[in-house]
Structure 1
Amino acid sequence: MTAIAGDLRGSSSASNPSEEPTEPTEATEPGQATLPEDSHYDADVIVVGAGPSGSAAAYWMATAGLDVLLLEKTSFPREKVCGDGLTPRGTRALVEMGIDVSEAAGWLHNKGLRVIGGGLRLELDWPQLASFPDYGLVRPRADLDHLLVRQAVKAGARLHEQTSVTAPVLSRQGRVVGVQAKAGPDGAVRSYRAPVVLACDGVSGRFALALGLQRNDRRPMGVAVRRYYTSPRTNDDYLESWLELWDGPPGADHAKLLPGYGWIFGMGDGSVNVGLGVLNSSAGFQKTNYRTLLTTWLDNTPEEWGLREENALCPTQGAGLPMGFNRTPHYRDGVLLVGDSSGSVNPFNGEGIPYAMESGKFAAEAVVQALARPQGPGRERALAGYPAAMAQEWGAYYRLGGAFVKLIGNPAVMRACTRHGLPHPKLMRFVLKLLANLSDPHDGDASDRIITALTRLTPPLR
């Protein structure tokens, strides 16, 4: 992708735009709004949602000089369901945005991933690569999102909190030229106009749904639940992943293997973030009470870890994990789907934050180039560069991830992989690179070259 540069502020503003909104008519689609004809735009671009994807996109576009209107339905700081752990890919995305990720700034650093399964325990350090730092991070999502949105505002984005977008605004030609929203504590209905809109509204994808862009149920989807506990395990140099979850002591005759995988991430403040995820390839996906499942698993962890009800700091909360490009197209008629709205979560490991931030950057690059061109075919070609960049960057990798999800949905396959893979650290270091998408395609070792070859031979998803 072309680097973001230049000053394009106001480049899309027009006294006589070619795509005027229509007056409301009987043909208007439910859930879509229209505006009376107007003679100006309220911004160069509107970003719906100020999570990691929206804030990252707003930051990069504002840095390039665009007038960015960032609309967020809640107020900061606000909580989001998340594992709170970042691999080096997430670390890189934060560093690129100028975020101070030092321990002095409140970040907990980690060395790698601890994998537990099949009666074995293996600590895998993050790989030494030119493309990524060699450490991951832990930070509560409430803090992380607040830091990111502040960085976007510092770059020049205009943040409107408590502004809940309810519908797209269409031109006569059916192009999105703005949004309708309920703004402020009184919920006053307002309309905002811009030649480009970024839908960064998360897993619900309400903006995309209003345009008829449905999720593809044949592509991966996950559900995760998490809870915070006070625990002596709060300080940990490794993120911890459990590949097997049991409803009793592992190996006991009556113990059953539960669907999904678990995690325990120390927060460094006296608490731990504990959770589990289940994939839609699992037979238990639609039948499982995830909160009960989490409690059942934790009741069989060592008593001294403190992962019991009396030490819980909050209720168990859950969220969807939209994976593997399960909503496309990523661009249509003036709207770019970004982050979770586009199904950008990594199907190999369920990681979403770095992909949300990176997709925000890809979207920003396309918009900056598009708004440097007049309205018309040239602008559309630039905007079409966004789904092309997504497909080039992750399309083949996500197709492989979809196959992986189907395989591990079978408990017998998952158990075999765990029991036969974990005893081989060299193999597991390769698996870590693959699952975390951490490789150097040009300057890496043999494992990097194998991963590169696999993705080059795989047709990309779009």
Structure 2
Amino acid sequence: MIDVLVAGGGPAGLAAAIHAALAGLEAVVVEPRAAPVDKACGEGLMPSGVAALRALGVEATGHELRGIRYVDGTTRAEASFRDNNGLGIRRTTLHSALHQRALDLGVRMLPGKVGEVRQSTDTVTAAGTTARWLIAADGLHSPVRRSLGLELPNRPHGRYGLRRHYRVEPWTDFVEVHWSRHGEAYVTPVGNDLVGVAVLSRSRRGYDDHLAAFPALTASLHGSAATEVRGAGPLRQRVRRRTAGRVLLVGDAAGYLDALTGEGIALALATAGAAIRCLATGRPDKYEHTWARLTRRHRLLTGALLAASRRPGTARLIVPAASRMQPLFSAAVHALQ
């Protein structure tokens, strides 16, 4: 019998498997898609996420990021990261690096879907495999989470994200967040000649229609589109709790608020590591509290920004306020990094 079965081979699942292997636990990852897997993602890693990758023994290449910049017309507010840089990295590049590191450590990859989850006092069985523990890292709309009755109903008018890349030389080494009355556009340099642009909004429209709300940004995207549009949503996923018997939820499967502050990957890596540490030390009961502590700043700051951006009138005040209160904006960025 193996120690840890991981449902989902994205960044959170692979990080959990790598942490397990480094802790001397046998891990198997169940994932139906062949590597590398692409998905709609802002592709910006905060400095804490870069440090988490290095702790896993993963060295991934991308475009160094110096900080965060908010833009609304001619009004700007920016804050540099305090100690270390972040990283703009293609989702496929990140996935390949994590996947290879897991293989190098002896993690087995099992093609397929988890399906039904059956538990006993000291085992959990899924995908034809019995393990001591199951890590559910199967994404925003986690089938494992749903099957265990851990979901709460979503509220109406959820936010959605769309992403496309452009073949253009980056004009900045900051992540730029462009604000409009009805949403945001996130610009992340991910290579010497490649920029990712993700749009987030409550409005269900096509990508080009969303981008038209940012004419200054559109003028900078003079290169050709390099990838197809990918989408995700609704983004907010409410969860009753992060554990159910011998199952622990990590990454997006553990609940998701919004991509507004760009911490998704960093939090996925952090919660994956926390879950495995709780199992390795024989304290799975500590995971819920640890998850809450790790995500508290993100939930508070992201929730405050979402509340302010919910009404078009107040949304237009965010960047001017950040520009006038630069120390406060810098403190918020430093708290999230």
In 1, Cα distance between the equivalents of 2:64 and 2:195? 14
Q: For 1:115, which of 62, 67, 70 is the aligned residue?
A: 70
Q: For 1:313, which of 216, 226, 230 is the aligned residue?
A: 226
CA-CA distance at 1:99 after TM superposition: 1.9
Match of 2:166? 229
Please identify, of 397-406 and 86-95, the stretch whose mean Cα deviation from structure 2 is larger: 397-406
Decide whether aligned partners of structure 1 residues 260 and 303 sit closer, same or farther in structure 2, where only a CA change above 3 A counts.
closer
In 2, Cα distance between the equivalents of 1:198 and 1:220? 30
1:145 equivalent in alignment to 2:145 = no
In 1, Cα distance between the equivalents of 2:123 and 2:200? 36
Query: Is the 1:118–1:415 contact (alpha carbons within 8 Å) kept by the matching residues of 2?
Result: no
In 1, Cα distance between the equivalents of 2:334 and 2:159? 21
Query: Is the 2:165–2:227 contact (alpha carbons within 8 Å) kept by the matching residues of 1?
Result: yes
In 2, Cα distance between the equivalents of 1:328 and 1:220? 20
CA-CA distance at 1:153 after TM superposition: 2.3
Correspondence 1:40-439 to 2 at 5 A: 41=1, 43-101=2-60, 106-117=61-72, 119-128=74-83, 134-160=84-110, 162-171=111-120, 177-180=124-127, 191-217=128-154, 222-231=159-168, 233-234=169-170, 236-244=172-180, 257=181, 259-278=182-201, 285=202, 287-297=203-213, 301=217, 303=219, 305-306=221-222, 311-320=224-233, 322-323=235-236, 326-344=238-256, 349-370=261-282, 382-395=283-296, 398-399=299-300, 401-434=302-335, 437-438=336-337
Query: Is the 2:44–2:89 contact (alpha carbons within 8 Å) kept by the matching residues of 1?
Result: yes
CA-CA distance at 1:304 after TM superposition: 5.4
Higher RCO (CA 8 Å, separation ≥ 6 residues): 2
- Superposition RMSD on alpha carbons, in Å? 2.6
Query: Is the 1:347–1:398 contact (alpha carbons within 8 Å) kept by the matching residues of 2?
Result: no
- Paired residue secondary structure (1:165): coil
Amino acid paired to 2:225: A
- Paired residue secondary structure (2:34): coil
Match of 1:457? none
CA-CA distance at 1:298 after TM superposition: 5.3
In 1, Cα distance between the equivalents of 2:157 and 2:12? 20
Query: Is the 1:265–1:273 contact (alpha carbons within 8 Å) kept by the matching residues of 2?
Result: yes
Aligned length: 337
In 1, Cα distance between the equivalents of 2:88 and 2:56? 17
CA-CA distance at 1:95 after TM superposition: 1.6
Query: Is the 2:72–2:179 contact (alpha carbons within 8 Å) kept by the matching residues of 1?
Result: yes
CA-CA distance at 1:339 after TM superposition: 0.4
Query: Is the 2:270–2:294 contact (alpha carbons within 8 Å) kept by the matching residues of 1?
Result: no
Q: Deviations over 1:260-280 (max 9, x none)?
A: 1111222324221111112xx
In 2, Cα distance between the equivalents of 1:409 and 1:71? 38
Amino acid paired to 2:3: D
Decide whether aligned partners of structure 1 residues 221 and 356 sit closer, same or farther in structure 2, where only a CA change above 3 A counts.
farther
The normalised TM-score by structure 2 is: 0.90
Query: Is the 2:39–2:230 contact (alpha carbons within 8 Å) kept by the matching residues of 1?
Result: no
Decide whether aligned partners of structure 1 residues 212 and 410 sit closer, same or farther in structure 2, where only a CA change above 3 A counts.
same
Query: Is the 1:72–1:163 contact (alpha carbons within 8 Å) kept by the matching residues of 2?
Result: yes
Query: Is the 1:241–1:264 contact (alpha carbons within 8 Å) kept by the matching residues of 2?
Result: yes
Decide whether aligned partners of structure 1 residues 166 and 64 sit closer, same or farther in structure 2, where only a CA change above 3 A counts.
same
Amino acid paired to 2:179: L
- Paired residue secondary structure (2:114): strand
Amino acid paired to 1:114: R
- Paired residue secondary structure (1:50): coil
- Paired residue secondary structure (1:56): helix
Q: Any unmatched runs of 5+ in structure 2?
A: none
Q: Deviations over 1:283-305 (max 9, x none)?
A: xx2x5214243342355645453
Query: Is the 1:266–1:273 contact (alpha carbons within 8 Å) kept by the matching residues of 2?
Result: yes
Amino acid paired to 1:192: T
Query: Is the 1:118–1:418 contact (alpha carbons within 8 Å) kept by the matching residues of 2?
Result: no
- Paired residue secondary structure (2:118): strand
In 2, Cα distance between the equivalents of 1:222 and 1:433? 25
Amino acid paired to 1:262: A
The normalised TM-score by structure 1 is: 0.67
In 2, Cα distance between the equivalents of 1:115 and 1:219? 27
Q: Deviations over 1:213-263 (max 9, x none)?
A: 2145359964211111222x336322211123xxxxxxxxxxxx3x11111
Decide whether aligned partners of structure 1 residues 407 and 345 sit closer, same or farther in structure 2, where only a CA change above 3 A counts.
closer
Query: Is the 2:136–2:250 contact (alpha carbons within 8 Å) kept by the matching residues of 1?
Result: yes
- Paired residue secondary structure (1:45): strand
Correspondence 1:4-19 to 2 at 5 A: none
**Identical-pair percentage:** 25
